[in-house]
Amino acid sequence: MGTNYDVVIVGGGVVGSSIAYFLSANPDFDGSIAVIERDPYYTASSSSLSTSAIRQQFGTAPNIAMSKFSIDFLRQVKTRLAIGDELADIGLHEPGYLVLATPERADAQRAKNRVQRGMGVDAELIEQVDLARRFPWLNTDDLALGSLGLGSEGWFDGPGLMQAFRRKARTQGVNYLAATVTGLTMASPGKVGEVVLDNGERLAAGTVINAAGPWSAGIARMAGAELPVVPSKRCVFVFETPARIENCPFVFDTSGFWLRPEGQLFLCGIPPVREN
Ligand SMILES: Cc1cc2nc3c(=O)[nH]c(=O)nc-3n(C[C@H](O)[C@H](O)[C@H](O)COP(=O)(O)OP(=O)(O)OC[C@H]3O[C@@H](n4cnc5c(N)ncnc54)[C@H](O)[C@@H]3O)c2cc1C
């Protein structure tokens, strides 16, 4: 006989584990929750490979609203995800994002800044001449301006956040199962009835949540649905330099290139021109 859960979450990365945490912390919910995660080491999960940076400087209101919620939560993680006296430290730094714009992109950047300011985002537009003065290590030759977030932007320990969600969810009664979801059976059209695991177990589920990240299209297909989610390769590089840059923000170049400090080192990357 199979096991029953009110909610089965497929994927225990930061999304699946945060859903498990928030749902199990909700006083209006008293059901049972299982998270199915095939890799307890999270070797290939986005959540353990992420650059773990957060910004407020988006161009649309929903993205800004989500990011505001997130930074408020990240500031409270220490106590919200504490277990007993053990605080959850995710090393949040908030030195801001410096988003650069060429003359061709300057108007679009100004328009974004108006949306951001309208939603209470503290981002300062800095014209080229001041940019060169305030960031002497930056080559400003092809730039028109930069937009500097004055707080609520930076980076943190992303894998640490995922583990903190997971640990806290477990103390709140969530059951993590190390298994691969291989199939979904339908109770009725559009309603999943059972989650089938590679160990032969079948879990009856009231609700199934697809939190399989880059693999979520495959999970959706098991229920006969098409999700437009396609994995996309990204590379992050580490370098060191004898130069010391005090209070270096997350720098987002107009080319898509980005860099940020990580201790004494730097991380950087650029979106690939062509996927391979
Ligand atoms: C290089 C890189 C840099 C990034 N930088 C940033 C950044 O700076 N800021 C930012 O906000 N975001 C960033 N992201 C994006 C961010 O990391 C992801 O949005 C986030 O981690 C997604 O979490 P997730 O839980 O949805 O997916 P994942 O962490 O991938 O978790 C999905 C889980 O589902 C499991 N799974 C899949 N299929 C099955 C199955 N059949 N059965 C059981 N389990 C299954 C997998 O094992 C995996 O653990 C970055 C991502 C990458 C790759």
Q: Ligand 1: which of 18, 42, 46 to mutate, most ligand atoms within 8 Å of CB?
A: 46
User: Do 218 and 191 fall into the same domain?
Assistant: yes
Q: Which residue has the higher pLDDT, 79 or 276?
A: 79
pLDDT tens-digit map of 162-210: 999 999 999 999 999 999 999 999 999 989 999 999 999 999 999 999 9
User: Do 10 and 48 fall into the same domain?
Assistant: yes
Distance 110 CA to ligand 1 centre (A): 32
Whether 201 is in a domain gets the answer: yes
pLDDT of residue 184: 98
Q: What is the dihedral of CA 53, 59, 61, 63, to 10 degrees?
A: -30
Is the CB of residue 47 less than 8 Å from the CB of residue 158?
A: yes
User: Do 106 and 142 fall into the same domain?
Assistant: yes
pLDDT tens-digit map of 194-206: 999 999 999 999 9
Percentage of the chain exceeding pLDDT 70: 98
The yes-or-no verdict on residue 150 having pLDDT over 50 is yes
pLDDT of residue 155: 97
Distance 210 CA to ligand 1 centre (A): 12
Distance 86 CA to ligand 1 centre (A): 26
Could you tell me the residue range of the domain that residue 254 belongs to? 97-152+233-269
User: Do 163 and 216 fall into the same domain?
Assistant: yes
47 lines ligand 1 (CB under 6 A): yes
pLDDT tens-digit map of 88-131: 999 999 999 999 999 999 999 999 999 999 999 999 999 999 99
User: Do 132 and 261 fall into the same domain?
Assistant: yes
Whether 71 is in a domain gets the answer: no
| Number of domain units in the chain | 2
User: Do 211 and 189 fall into the same domain?
Assistant: yes
Whether 15 is in a domain gets the answer: yes
The yes-or-no verdict on residue 1 having pLDDT over 80 is no
pLDDT of residue 110: 95
Whether 31 is in a domain gets the answer: yes
Whole-number mean pLDDT of the chain? 95
User: Do 174 and 213 fall into the same domain?
Assistant: yes
Whether 140 is in a domain gets the answer: yes
pLDDT tens-digit map of 25-77: 999 999 999 999 999 999 999 999 999 999 999 989 999 999 999 999 999 99
Whether 78 is in a domain gets the answer: no
User: Do 257 and 125 fall into the same domain?
Assistant: yes
User: Do 29 and 147 fall into the same domain?
Assistant: no
Q: Ligand 1: which of 37, 42, 50, 192 to mutate, most ligand atoms within 8 Å of CB?
A: 50
User: Do 148 and 163 fall into the same domain?
Assistant: no
* CATH number of the domain that residue 241 is part of: 3.30.9.10
User: Do 136 and 177 fall into the same domain?
Assistant: no
36 lines ligand 1 (CB under 6 A): yes
Q: Supply the residue whose CA is at minimum distance from atom 14 of ligand 1.
A: 50
Is residue 274 very low, low, confident or very high in pLDDT (cuts 50, 70, 90)? Answer: low
39 lines ligand 1 (CB under 6 A): yes
What mean pLDDT is predicted for residues 139-159? 95
Whether 127 is in a domain gets the answer: yes
Distance 246 CA to ligand 1 centre (A): 31
Picking from 183, 199, 222, the residue at the C-terminal end of a domain is 222
* CATH number of the domain that residue 39 is part of: 3.50.50.60
